[in-house]
Amino acid sequence: MSAGHTNPSTDAEASVPEKTPAPQLTARKRPLLDRIPVISHVRQSVGLQRGMLVGGLVLLTVFVIVAIFAPWIAPYSWAQRSVDGVKFGTQQPPNPLNIWGTTVGGFDVFSRTIWGAQTAILAIICAIAFSIFLGIALGLLSGYFGGWLDRILVVIADAIYSFPSLLLAIVISIVISGGRSTLWSGILSTAIAITVVFVPQYFRVIRADVVRIKAEPFVESARVIGVPTHRILTRHVLRNSLRSIPVIVTLNASEALLTLAGLGFLGFGIDATAAAEWGYDLNRSVADASSGIWWTSIPPGLAIVLVVLGITLVGESLNDLSDPRLRRRRRAGGAA
């Protein structure tokens, strides 16, 4: 029982290398710019696809800039209820003091939305970093050595993969933080929760590639001439199985943010005084919406939408560009 593909696009990708081995052979001769994943994709794309890719990249750039420069952009801190001894008041509509109004807790909506970018980016980076590392390591070892460990890991990965990430994340949050938490324990518990959910995806993709690659003649010849196993693993197998990682990373990044916000919305969030988190703010604004108060929910909600949109546009374009059935070619004659 090998890790099967359910995603039609992954299926198509898996079948690409057999037909077109050329890029791998000539990889070293291509200019540096063409070998960096996202940049090479931009150069490859045309028309609508390029528009989507560039649009997504712009959104992501803005998000990263806001996250890095949050202390300078936000007028107040995320847990500030007053300035110069004057209280903001609760549920105040937008005014010169609080340009996007204040929340039910008396916080400045604009400041919390800006600071929320920082929390979001930290959670995404931690989650992706953990799950890539674990998923690749497990997939590589499991696929290369096989045996009973491989079988057990595949069954566990399949079981976890079929389960909704948010519910699994809830269970793991209970374990790690018992619910409430500070900035770092909150981010870490979310990141670890998301990691457990995502590892099976990386595991399956890497493992499937490794199983295919280890049967290739170049791996066998390396083994015959006595190359040490760790070198075969890292140099011959791993480097050739990382092809589909950028696409999964972008798809997972958006899911990571949605899971973070979902946990926050359900009450597993980070305390309002510890950090700003968009999902928590939306949770507090549900009651506001019923009475027509829009300024507490729209900014954090739109922030989530724009970031996920940016990530998804990039991911979608990368996916289409790596799938020859969906890729549009520069010359009219080659249009699929």
Coil, helix or strand at residue 108: strand
User: Residues 26, 31, 37, 43: what is their CA dihedral angle, to the nearest 10 degrees?
Assistant: -110
Other Cβ atoms less than 10 A from the Cβ of 120: the count is 26
The strand pairing partners of 102, in sequence order, are 108
Other Cβ atoms less than 10 A from the Cβ of 20: the count is 9
* Single-letter amino acid code for the residue at 139: G
Which of 6, 95, 229, 234 lies at the binding interface for another protein (CB under 8 A)?
6
Which of 23, 235, 267, 329 lies at the binding interface for another protein (CB under 8 A)?
267
| CA neighbor of 158 nearest in space, from 321, 329, 1, 327 | 1
Distance, in Å, from the CA atom of 213 to the CA atom of 312, rounded to the nearest integer, reads 29
Distance, in Å, from the CA atom of 13 to the CA atom of 15, rounded to the nearest integer, reads 5
User: Nearer Cβ to another protein, position 125 or 306?
Assistant: 306
Q: Which stretch binds another protein (CB under 8 A): 67-75, 222-230, 237-245, 302-310?
A: 302-310
Q: Is residue 33 near another protein by the rule CB under 8 A? A: no
User: Residues 198, 204, 210, 213: what is their CA dihedral angle, to the nearest 10 degrees?
Assistant: -130
Q: Which stretch binds another protein (CB under 8 A): 21-29, 97-105, 117-125, 309-317?
A: 309-317
User: Nearer Cβ to another protein, position 24 or 61?
Assistant: 61
Q: Is residue 230 near another protein by the rule CB under 8 A? A: no
Q: Is residue 174 near another protein by the rule CB under 8 A? A: yes
Return the DSSP state at 92.
P
Which of 268, 275, 280, 284 lies at the binding interface for another protein (CB under 8 A)?
268
Which of 109, 206, 261, 276 lies at the binding interface for another protein (CB under 8 A)?
261
Give the count of residues interacting with another protein (CB under 8 A): 61
Q: Which residues bind another protein (CB under 8 A)?
A: 1-6, 8-9, 47-48, 155-156, 158-168, 170-172, 174-175, 178-179, 254, 258, 261-262, 265-268, 279, 282-283, 285-286, 289-292, 294, 297, 301, 304-305, 308-309, 312-313, 316, 325-326, 328, 336
